[in-house]
Amino acid sequence: MDPGVEVPVPAPGELWAVGAVILGPGGAFAQKRSARRRLFPDSWDIVGGHVEPGETLLDALAREVEEETGWRLRRVRRHLGTTTWHGDDGLGLRHEADYLVDVEGDLDHPALERSKHSAHDWFGPGDLERLKENRRPGEYLIHDLVARALGQET
């Protein structure tokens, strides 16, 4: 982890998620959620997921990167921000810490969880509008995180 990277410490009872904007030679990695997903179906997303009981945020980040891509977390460069949101599962408020990271593995062949994701791509500065596909105004968190990671703040 790079010096000065903020890692929030969840309070007891809080629900947390983590997200990873993965950089590679083609830009920032994103995967498309399958059309069958309840939350944000057929929309682009970064790698990430819920923090399980007993996990630290960084443990969850490493686990999610490996589960969703087959890659290994190599470096946490920077904290991109923490957001709060309500899921549609009735569990209430969640906090999400998102990070800019580097990984190791075969970047040309991620091992996607096909039951959850239907496609993947690398997004450069000229591709950012695609990250808004199937999202309503106000649901541009993924676009904004990738733009921030690429130095293209909107």
Domain-located, residue 4: no
Tens-digit pLDDT string for the chain (154 aa): 899 999 999 999 999 999 999 999 889 999 999 999 888 889 999 999 999 999 999 999 999 999 999 999 999 999 999 999 886 667 789 999 999 999 999 999 999 988 899 999 999 999 999 999 998 888 899 999 999 999 975 4
Domain-located, residue 29: yes
CB 66 within 8 A of CB 72: yes
Alpha-carbon distance 41 to 101, whole Å?
A: 25
Q: What DSSP line would sit under 99-121, residue for residue?
A: EEEEEES-TTS----TTTEEEEE
Domain-located, residue 78: yes
- CATH for 85: 3.90.79.10
- pTM of the predicted structure, to 2 decimals: 0.92
Task: Provide the domain count of the chain.
Answer: 1
Domain-located, residue 6: no
Domain-located, residue 8: no
Predicted local confidence at residue 153, as pLDDT: 55
Predicted local confidence at residue 40, as pLDDT: 84
Kindly state the helix (H) or strand (E) to which residue 145 belongs, with its residue range. helix 141-149
Of the candidates 4, 28, 5, 3, which has an alpha carbon nearest to the alpha carbon of residue 79?
5
Note down the domain range covering 113: 15-149
18: exposed, middle or buried (Cβ count in 10 Å: 0-12, 13-18, 19+): buried
Predicted local confidence at residue 88, as pLDDT: 66
